A and B are shown apart, each in its own frame.
Chain A
C-alpha cells in the first residue's frame, strides 16, 4: 500500500535531493555528465558578487514581507472577527480571494495597476512623490513593490489562521475582564496577545520559510532587475542552470538555499521553544 507513494517519493523526491548534492560537486552542464570538481562551485560562488547580491536581496525581501504580513494579518483579523454573519463571510472573501489567484494573474493585475502611464495607483504615487514612477524599473522602488504585491497576494492565508486563533479564545475571558473594568487595550494586551502568540509564531515561521523561496513574483515583474536590485537566490539557480547551462553551479546555489532554510527552521524552532517555556 505504501508502494505507489514510496516509488514516487524515491524517484521524484529522494533521488533529486541526492542528485542536487552530487551535481553541486561537478562541473556538469544542465544536461550531461561533468567532472568532479570538489568544492570548486562553492568557491566560485563565494567569489561572485551576484551571489552576495542575491543573498542580500532575498534577506531584504524577507525583511519587507514577513513581519508586515504577520502584523497586517493580525490587525485585519482583529477587525474582521468582530463582525457577524454574512457580512463577516463577505469581507473575509474580499480579503482572501487574492490568495487563491495564480501568481501570473497577480503580477499581470499589478503591472496594470502600477503602469507608469495609465496605472490607477499612479494617482497615489503622484500624490506622495509629485511624479509618476515606473516602479519596477526603479532600483529603489522595485523590491518594496514586489514585497507589497506579495503581502497583498498572501495575506489572506495569515488572516485566516489568525481568525481561527481568535475564535478559539473563550468569550468568558473578555466578559470577566469587562466586568472588572478592563479597557479594550488592556483586554488585548492581557488576554488576546498571550493567547494568540502561538498562532503568531506559526504564521511567522511559515512566512519566513515561504518568503525565502521567492522567485515567481520577481521573475514575472522585474526579472531580477533593475541593476540586479531584485535578484534573489532562486533566480540565481535559474540563471546558472537554465540560462548559462551550468547545472553544477546551479545545484550549488540550490544547496545553499536548502541549507539556509534548514538553519533558519532549526533556529526558529529552538527560539520558539525557549519563548514557549
Chain B
C-alpha cells in the first residue's frame, strides 16, 4: 500500500524533527562553547565561523575545575564501590541466610522508599557536623551510601538462583563470603555492572547534598562547583558552556559506552524487568 508507506515516511520525518529539536539545546551548548566570546553575542550562527577552544582552555586552567573533578571522581567512585559491596552483602543475607528479624529488616528497607532523602538534609548535616565531616570527602560520601533499591534488586536476583547451587558449594566447604563473591556475584555480573554504572551517574550528578555539605571551593564536586563560576564583568556564555560540557563529560561518556546497561538498570530499579 503506497498510502501507508507515505504515512510511515511522514511519521519518520516528524519523529526525527522532534528528536532534533529535543536535542537542540545540547547541540547549541556545544556550538556556543567553541565560538569566540564575541561571536556568541554578536550573531546567531549555527556552525561557528572559526573553531575556537579558548573557552575550554580557560575552563581547564583558570578555574578550580581540576580540583572539582578530583573531588567528584573520588567521591562518586567510592560511593559506587561501597554501595555495591554493602548492598550485595545485605541482599545475599536477606535472600539466602535465615536469621531472626530477616522479614522485618526487608520490610524496613522496602519502607525506606517512602522517606525522601531530601527531607533528611538538616539532620544529616547536623550529624556530619558532629562527626567533623563538613567540607570533607567523607561528608559528601556517607549519606549517599544508602540506596535501598540496589539491595532489593539484588535480593530478587539472588532469590531466583537455584538452591542446589548453594548446597553444592556448601558441601565443597565454601563459606558464605566465598559463595557470594565466587558464585552468586559472577552469576549476576551483568546486573552488577548495570547497577554500578547507574550508581556512579547518580553520584556524579548529585547536587543538593554536596552543595550543602561543602562550602569551601576546594571541596566542591563538579556539579556544585560549576555554579560558582561567575565573572564580575558579566556573563560569558562560551566559557559557561565549555564548563558545563566538561562537567557532563564523565556521565555522557559512561552513558554512551554502556547505553544498554544504563537502561537495564533504570528498568530494574523502577520495577520493570528488562
Tell whether A pairs with B: yes
Known: A4-B86, A108-B226, A112-B237. A98 touches B26 (CB 8 A): yes
A237 touches B121 (CB 8 A): yes
Complex formed: what's the CA distance from A213 to B272 in Å? 23
Q: Which of B26-44 contact A (CB under 8 A)?
A: 26, 28-29, 32, 40-41, 44
A1 touches B123 (CB 8 A): no
A-B contacts, CB under 8 A, total: 228
Q: Is B178 an interface residue (CB 8 A)?
A: no
Complex formed: what's the CA distance from A110 to B120 in Å? 29
Residue in contact with B19 in the complex, picked from A95, A115, A117, CB distance below 8 Å = A95
Complex formed: what's the CA distance from A83 to B12 in Å? 7
B interface footprint on A152-163 (CB within 8 Å = 1, 0 otherwise): 100001001100
B122 touches A15 (CB 8 A): no
B121 touches A5 (CB 8 A): no
A97 touches B40 (CB 8 A): no
Known: A2-B90, A4-B89, A5-B86. A105 touches B248 (CB 8 A): yes
Chain B residues contacting A9 (CB-CB under 8 Å) are 109, 112, 146
Known: A102-B207, A220-B227. A1 touches B90 (CB 8 A): yes
Q: Is B60 an interface residue (CB 8 A)?
A: no
A interface footprint on B6-38 (CB within 8 Å = 1, 0 otherwise): 001001101110111011011011001000000
Q: Is B67 an interface residue (CB 8 A)?
A: no
Chain A residues contacting B252 (CB-CB under 8 Å) are 97, 100-101
Known: A104-B226, A202-B271. A257 touches B116 (CB 8 A): yes
Chain A residues contacting B270 (CB-CB under 8 Å) are 161, 202, 206
A102 touches B92 (CB 8 A): no
Known: A9-B146, A120-B28, A254-B122. A19 touches B127 (CB 8 A): yes
With both beta carbons as reference points, the residue of chain A lying nearest to B202 in the complex is identified as A100
Chain B residues contacting A160 (CB-CB under 8 Å) are 263, 266-267
B122 touches A216 (CB 8 A): no
The distance from the CB of B246 to the nearest CB of chain A, in whole angstroms, is 9
B119 touches A258 (CB 8 A): yes
Complex formed: what's the CA distance from A21 to B267 in Å? 33
Q: Is A136 an interface residue (CB 8 A)?
A: no
Q: Is B118 an interface residue (CB 8 A)?
A: yes
A17 touches B114 (CB 8 A): no
Q: Contacting chain B: which of A35-43, A48-56, A74-82, A127-135?
A: A74-82
B interface footprint on A1-14 (CB within 8 Å = 1, 0 otherwise): 11011101101110
Chain B positions within 8 Å of A, measured between CB atoms, are 8, 11-12, 14-16, 18-20, 22-23, 25-26, 28-29, 32, 40-41, 44, 85-87, 89-90, 92-94, 97, 105, 109, 112, 114-116, 118-127, 129, 142-143, 145-146, 151, 176-177, 180, 201, 204-205, 207-208, 212, 222-224, 226-227, 235, 237, 240-241, 243-245, 247-248, 251-252, 255-256, 259, 262-263, 266-267, 270-272, 274
Chain A positions within 8 Å of B, measured between CB atoms, are 1-2, 4-6, 8-9, 11-13, 15-17, 19-20, 23, 30-31, 76, 79-80, 82-83, 87, 89, 91, 93-98, 100-105, 108-110, 112-113, 115, 117-118, 120, 152, 157, 160-161, 164-165, 199, 202, 206, 209, 212-213, 215-216, 220, 234, 237-238, 241-242, 247, 250-251, 254-255, 257-258, 261-262, 265
With A16-B143, A82-B8 already in contact, 15 other A-B pairs whose C-beta atoms are closer than 8 Å: A1-B90, A5-B89, A23-B123, A89-B259, A91-B19, A101-B251, A108-B227, A118-B41, A152-B22, A164-B267, A220-B227, A238-B121, A247-B122, A255-B119, A257-B116
